Structure formats: structure tokens, C-alpha cells
Amino acid sequence: MTESWRTGRQTLQGHRVLRIGIDPDRKALYDRINLRAAAMFHQGLVEETRRLSIKYGEAARPLTSLGYRQAMSVLSDQMSLPEAVAYAQQGHRNYAKRQMTWFRREREVHWISGFGSQEEFLHQAMQAIDDHLGALR
């Protein structure tokens, strides 16, 4: 892998790539993130974390990731459950913001507003694909 990174990779040649980016409303995205993070805890993340820490040890690297880290804090009485949920929500929102910043740097992305599961988004994505393929003919 080190050698691969050192030598780099060949650019994709002979192909026309269509990149479609999902651009949801920030507030709606953060609302979804907050709901998902809370659901993780309410569906047993703390108990799952307890079992994993017993099986693999508290120092297991995956237990330091978003959500698990906060669940570990609940198990060690460093945070209450509501605090852990709030910290996990903030962490996931921060991560999403970093992802958006990263992808915004990508060139030649066809950005579509909304979420990928929305009918209008799917319609616009299909139209972009049809337009892209039409330009190739």
C-alpha cells in the first residue's frame, strides 16, 4: 500500500465520468443526524458497547469512534446518557460538515439539492444521467 501511495495512480482515461453530489438542506441534514444518533443510543448502543468492551477490551480502536466513544463515557460514569447523545450528535454533525467541505473541493460535480431518497432528487439524477449519456452519442 505504501508503494501504491508513493507512485500514485494513473488518471482514468478514455472515460467520461458523471459525478452526482447530494446537497441536502443543512438544517434538514442536521435534524436527520440528530435523530439517527439518538436512535443509536435508544436501540442499545450502550449495551452493545459494553459487550464489545468485555470481548475485545476497552482499548479496542473501534470503541473510540463516534457513538462508541460516548457510550464508553456512559459506561465509565463520565457522562450521563443525555450528555452522551448530545455529544454524539455534535460529533456526527461536525463529521458531516467536514465531508461537505471535502466534497465541495471536487471539480465537475453535478450537485442536486435534497436527499437521495426523495423522488425529485431521483428524477433530477436520472435527468443528469440521460443528459450525460446523450452528450456521448
Domains of the chain: 22-110 (1.10.287.890)
Distance between CA atoms of 32 and 40, rounded to whole angstroms? Answer: 12
Ranges of residues in the chain with a pLDDT under 50 are: none
86's grid cell: 448530545
What pLDDT score does 66 carry? 96
Residue 9: predicted pLDDT: 72
pTM of the model: 0.80
Q: What is the pLDDT of residue 6?
A: 77
User: Backbone phi, then psi, for 67, in 5-degree steps?
Assistant: 90, -60
